[in-house]
Structure 1
Amino acid sequence: MAYVLGIGVTPVGRYPDRSFTELVAEAYDSAIKDAQLAEPDRIEGTWFANMLADFFGVRSMRGLRVLAPLVEDGLFPDGQRIVNVEAACASGSAAFNGAWSAIQSGADLTLAIGVEKMNPADGDGVELLDWMAGGLPDSYWDPYRALAAELGVTFEPGAGRSIAMDTYALLAQSHMRDYGTTVEQIAASAAKNHTNAVHNPRAQYRFPMTTEQVLADRVIAEPLTRSMAAPRGDGAGAALVCSERFLRQQPAAVRERALKIRGHSLAGGRIDASWQDQRSPVASASQTYAMAGVKPSDLDLVELHDATSFAEIHLVEDLGLCERGQGGPFTASGATQLGGDVAVNSSGGLVSRGHPIAATGIMMLNELALQLRGEAGENQLPDAGLAMAENGGGFIGTDVALTATTILERVA
């Protein structure tokens, strides 16, 4: 059995003048203090997640190059085994998977780090969006062109646009056609999450919104408005994962705050997948529920990958929180609000807490940890005991390329 021993994150924001190393140093120090770890040298391996450092000139050995200054200053263990990980928006969860897998294989203490910068000091970030969409053959987008033809619209990615928003917009139109989902229901998800973030000091956006305000915002890709999309954010997260053997050696105060990893899995996407198929999020969630021995109805809260608010609509279906096709009505009913049937994105989610790509998966786990430990402030849920994170990365065909799901449990 593996446990989250300590976890720490930076707030999400636009930090053009902060380096990757500075962001990682803050998150790592926070995780070490959270675990009350007196001997960081006992960490047996580090999995380092990043996606965009290449844009900033760090072309290889990213983890080693980002962490080297901390080693030189005596702030990070020397001689550390560092494994570089990249899985698009699921990079942080892929790093966590590496740390968790090592514990399953006999290690006692491992570390997962995720860090991202999306706001260059010179420029408005448009070049970054173009860089992210580059390097793929034009045929990669043929499944979206085929879907667009079915819907009677066009799909042509272009310079200065976010390819992620264009793909999510097309998937939203598909779900609206198949199930009658409405833009008002998508807006209800966005309004909920913006309002949830008001009391989250780690969130990039901290202002409430109504459904009407979300709908009135600027359209970025029909039917999505700006308020339904995650902003470009910078930040880092770090999580220490330990074995039961290691946990037993820790002081009572540390053992009481550790969180059991009841279930965890990764699942890959299918090139030709419909809403009815065993798509990547469905497969990962099914595996994790089986490992944990729990049902969706057992969950107290969920942090999921709402890179757009439409994603939350289909993901509450994929995770089994409601029936297929009912994500819109389920969300609009208030079932996913604080105090609803199951709180979804009580942190504000990606659309409001922010989405620094490779850090997001670990930031989700941090939000779960705060709730399970009773440390979530004004957003605290009563007696939260079991929680799931879902983090998706990339596209393959019309499916999510890689989905990670994790179930954490309060043990004290």
Structure 2
Amino acid sequence: MTNAYIVGAFTTRFGRASEKTVRDLTREAYLGVLADAGMETGAKIEFAWFGNCMMDYWGQAIIRGQVCFLPLVREGLFPERVPMINVEGGCATGSMAFHGAFKDILSGQSDLSLALGVEKLFDPRPGADIFQWFGGGHSPFDREELLEEYHRVARNIGVAFTPEPNRTLPMDTYAVQAAYHMKRYGTTREQIAACAAKNHFHGSLNPKAQYRFTMSPEEVLADRLVVDPFTRAMCSPLGDGAAAILVCSERYRNTLPEPIRARAIRIRANVFTGGKYRNEDEPSLSRVAADKAYRVAGVTPAQIDVAEVHDATSFCEVYQMEMLRFCEIGEGGPFVASGATSLGGQLPVNTSGGLVSKGHPIAATGLSMLTELTTQLRHEAGDRQVEGAEFALQENGGGVIGLEEAACAITILQKV
């Protein structure tokens, strides 16, 4: 089986880009990834995977990628007749696009494949309400079953589960999961706040981040309450952005000029798992995916030098430290609060700033995480560089099924 490599990686700056259309963001990410790979056009691209979740809100419900790339085809920047598959998987959409490109290379049918994810979530028009579109992240056919599951868990630990229309349902589901963890293991708001403050510091070093300011744990705790125990600073914001990755075969990599070839990053593992209704103490789908990824890559958790994990809330990072075996179950709070996941710590996590600071344009998120890790393994991250980074891990989940996500990706990368 051939090896697969990331040969190009790019992300736009995340934030509220009301002056840019989805096509504008697509163009910026596409031209950016070509430039990163030392290419003027995409003439050698043989397949493409386009990720998006919310474009129907803006009026384009189907053939989204083809519509966004039409001007690029007409200008000769993207090759004619190249197939493009549209992908949607909630917050894991970008990683699903990457998974498709990765399999293109492993199959031997393509030597160069593109994965691109784009999202516009900010609508400045008076009275605009995109929150209703987030309901697509869980099943309307089983909504009452999902709500009752969270009511049950909330009752058992003595808290309320009260979704409201002024926030997305996932914030409420994460809040119950956090409350359960706090009750079961003694995790504290202060530990979650320390995690958020750490990522706001990392984000202040990232020129592509939506939020580029620091916050102390005390400032995080004092911020506006979204849903107990989360303040605004512990939650990912709404924003716009796009990211893209070019995946190539070893055969293609060997044809490249040395400066480009030397920056290629090997994909050691790319694993997906699916969600189910699990009990409260059963490890999540990310634990299953991580264990398989470690086996496929032939590495252990102790060998990972830097990680990007899906912190839609700062509690999520605390929890994923346990699921990814970076610490024991129940020890995520103390592990993060100790500084272990900060720059200069035992295992720097979310050096990009994570979703709470870098931002979370849904379909672009997974690819932006991979771009950050690629930058780290190339040793091109500047002030946020993890010294001597060789192995990197990405965890990206999407959707809601019971007490976990509908899908989860784990990717392990290596500097070569």
1:67 aligned partner: 69
CA contact 1:205–1:353 (8 Å) conserved in 2:
yes
Once residues 270 and 116 of structure 2 are traced to their aligned partners in structure 1, the CA distance between those partners, rounded to angstroms, is 17
* Alignment RMSD: 1.3
2:253 aligned partner: 247
Residue 271 of structure 1 aligns to a residue whose secondary structure is coil
How many angstroms does 1:38 deviate by?
Answer: 5.0
Once residues 107 and 262 of structure 2 are traced to their aligned partners in structure 1, the CA distance between those partners, rounded to angstroms, is 24
1:391 aligns with 2:359: no
> Which residue of the other structure, out of 147, 157, 168, is the alignment partner of 1:151?
157
> Which residue of the other structure, out of 276, 280, 295, is the alignment partner of 2:300?
295
> Which residue of the other structure, out of 57, 60, 74, is the alignment partner of 2:59?
57
CA-to-aligned-CA distance 1:70-102 (integer Å, 9 cap, x gap): 212222221120100000000000000000011
Once residues 188 and 304 of structure 2 are traced to their aligned partners in structure 1, the CA distance between those partners, rounded to angstroms, is 27
Residue 4 of structure 1 aligns to a residue whose secondary structure is strand
**Stretch of structure 1 that moved more, 152-161 or 398-407:** 152-161
Residue 399 of structure 1 aligns to a residue whose secondary structure is coil
CA contact 1:273–1:279 (8 Å) conserved in 2:
no
User: What is the one-letter code of the residue matched to 1:401?
Assistant: A
TM-score by length of 1: 0.97
2:170 aligned partner: 164
Once residues 314 and 330 of structure 1 are traced to their aligned partners in structure 2, the CA distance between those partners, rounded to angstroms, is 10
Once residues 22 and 393 of structure 2 are traced to their aligned partners in structure 1, the CA distance between those partners, rounded to angstroms, is 28
User: What is the one-letter code of the residue matched to 2:392?
Assistant: A
How many angstroms does 1:381 deviate by?
Answer: 1.5
User: What is the one-letter code of the residue matched to 2:96?
Assistant: A
2:112 aligned partner: 109
1:136 aligns with 2:124: no
CA-to-aligned-CA distance 1:21-43 (integer Å, 9 cap, x gap): 11011111111111113562221
1:377 aligned partner: 382
**Pair 246,124 (structure 1): closer, same or farther in 2 beyond 3 Å:** farther
CA-to-aligned-CA distance 1:345-366 (integer Å, 9 cap, x gap): 1111000011110000000011
> Which residue of the other structure, out of 302, 306, 314, is the alignment partner of 1:309?
314
Residue 41 of structure 1 aligns to a residue whose secondary structure is coil
> Which residue of the other structure, out of 208, 212, 217, is the alignment partner of 2:223?
217
2:100 aligned partner: 98
> Which residue of the other structure, out of 339, 350, 363, is the alignment partner of 1:334?
339
CA contact 1:130–1:160 (8 Å) conserved in 2:
no
CA contact 2:301–2:326 (8 Å) conserved in 1:
yes
Once residues 99 and 126 of structure 2 are traced to their aligned partners in structure 1, the CA distance between those partners, rounded to angstroms, is 34
Where does the alignment leave 5 or more consecutive residues of structure 2 unmatched? none
1:178 aligns with 2:184: yes
How many angstroms does 1:142 deviate by?
Answer: 2.2
Paired residues, number: 409
1:262 aligned partner: 268
CA contact 1:281–1:319 (8 Å) conserved in 2:
yes
Runs of 4+ off more than 3 Å: none
CA contact 2:41–2:78 (8 Å) conserved in 1:
no
1:46 aligned partner: 48
1:394-405 superposed matches below 5 A:
394-405=399-410
CA-to-aligned-CA distance 1:219-254 (integer Å, 9 cap, x gap): 100000000000101000110001111111111111
1:84 aligned partner: 86
Residue 110 of structure 1 aligns to a residue whose secondary structure is strand
Where does the alignment leave 5 or more consecutive residues of structure 1 unmatched? none
Once residues 208 and 124 of structure 1 are traced to their aligned partners in structure 2, the CA distance between those partners, rounded to angstroms, is 31
CA contact 2:308–2:395 (8 Å) conserved in 1:
yes
How many angstroms does 1:159 deviate by?
Answer: 2.0
How many angstroms does 1:129 deviate by?
Answer: 1.0
1:356 aligned partner: 361
> Which residue of the other structure, out of 400, 407, 414, is the alignment partner of 1:409?
414
Once residues 329 and 264 of structure 1 are traced to their aligned partners in structure 2, the CA distance between those partners, rounded to angstroms, is 29
How many angstroms does 1:9 deviate by?
Answer: 1.1
**Stretch of structure 1 that moved more, 31-40 or 277-286:** 31-40
CA contact 2:105–2:248 (8 Å) conserved in 1:
yes
Once residues 133 and 245 of structure 2 are traced to their aligned partners in structure 1, the CA distance between those partners, rounded to angstroms, is 29
Once residues 94 and 30 of structure 2 are traced to their aligned partners in structure 1, the CA distance between those partners, rounded to angstroms, is 14
CA-to-aligned-CA distance 1:48-84 (integer Å, 9 cap, x gap): 0000101111111111111112212222221120100
2:20 aligned partner: 18
How many angstroms does 1:123 deviate by?
Answer: 3.7
Residue 220 of structure 1 aligns to a residue whose secondary structure is strand
Once residues 163 and 202 of structure 2 are traced to their aligned partners in structure 1, the CA distance between those partners, rounded to angstroms, is 32
**Pair 316,406 (structure 1): closer, same or farther in 2 beyond 3 Å:** same
Residue 393 of structure 2 aligns to a residue whose secondary structure is strand
CA-to-aligned-CA distance 1:183-236 (integer Å, 9 cap, x gap): 000000000000111111000001111110001111100000000000101000
TM-score by length of 2: 0.96
CA contact 2:41–2:76 (8 Å) conserved in 1:
no
